[in-house]
Amino acid sequence: MMTRHAPFTSHTRSACILAIVRAPFLDHPRPVAFAHRGGAAHAPENSWTAFEHAAKLGYAYLETDARATSDGKLVAFHDRTLDRVTDASGPINALSYREVAALRVSGTEPIPLIEDLLGAWPDVRFNIDLKDIPGISLLPEVLRRTGAWDRVCVTSFSGNRLRTARGLLDRPVCMATSPTAIAGVRCNLGSSVRWPQIRMFAGFLSRCCVYCAQVPGKVATAAFVRRAHALGLDVHVWTINDRAEMIRYLDLGADGIMTDDIETLRDVLIERGQWHPRVGSGRL
């Protein structure tokens, strides 16, 4: 099982609450650059073209969404319905994979299978946002077939979906904080909270394989970053497409930035000496 925490002696706690041994998903040098939906500023979101562009730029982390088709295939698609990004309409989970495969995002791009994305770049990590309940039970089998347990982080806006996924997975998989845990970091770690309470909260997160807080920019204040780090959590900020904002969050100590504008983020990190590209490029 993944472990990360070892308490320091009392005289060091004011400086750093917890020592961290990284989960495999997070063992890349900081800060982490995430290609949000593959890098939607440069190609249609969640498309092969977007993911390929990000991989060729050197991105080691790709972010995507997962939804189920009516016949049990897990596809990379954000919305509940097809209306916004395809010429079709209605819920995507009402269609079979054969029907979904015939559709095109922005008129040109097929909708990928999550399993195919994991297989295309065996050295790339994937941040997978579970968008619906039917998709939860499909993820474990996808990870079994691809052996990608250590290359994924599971996230969702639903704590129930995260709990259900955790119960179905055969092995520990990195998970992001639920909305409830984010609220706990924001509201319940004030100056009156003592070390045993912090250690209890950190232990709970660790047992749940929660290793990162993925939050919108408005949440990622200096205090939030400090409190999350005290719990041993990495902080990943989304979705930051403005150059000045990228720099601001990096200066605050964010461990990762999610962006649609993957070219600008790469340029910022290169300028700061913080660009850590993947080895190799191109689709296998």
Q: Where are the beta strands (DSSP E) in the chain?
A: 5-7, 18-20, 32-35, 61-68, 74-76, 125-130, 152-155, 174-176, 210-216, 234-238, 256-259
Domain chopping of the chain, boundaries: 5-10+24-63+114-271
CATH no., domain 5-10+24-63+114-271: 3.20.20.190
- pLDDT for position 186: 87
| pLDDT, tens digit only, all 284 positions of the chain | 444 433 323 333 333 444 455 799 999 999 999 999 999 999 999 999 999 999 999 999 999 999 999 999 999 999 999 999 999 999 999 999 999 999 999 999 999 999 999 999 999 999 999 999 999 999 999 999 999 999 999 999 999 999 999 999 999 999 999 999 999 898 765 555 566 778 888 999 999 999 999 999 999 999 999 999 999 999 999 999 999 999 999 999 999 999 999 999 999 999 999 999 997 644 43
Query: How far, in Å, CA of 74 to CA of 205, rounded?
Result: 27
The CA-atom distances, in angstroms, between 174 and each of 23, 25, 103, 109, 189 are 7, 7, 32, 30, 23
Query: How far, in Å, CA of 255 to CA of 276, rounded?
Result: 13
Other Cβ atoms within 10 Å of 282 Cβ, number: 9
Other Cβ atoms within 10 Å of 91 Cβ, number: 14
Choice among 36, 53, 229, 236 that is catalytic: 36
- pLDDT for position 280: 63
Choice among 11, 53, 78, 229 that is catalytic: 78
Query: How far, in Å, CA of 152 to CA of 143, rounded?
Result: 9
Token pair belonging to 12: 């060091």
**Quick check: is 78 catalytic?**
yes
**Quick check: is 36 catalytic?**
yes
Three-state SS for 152?
Answer: strand
CA 193 to chain centre: 29
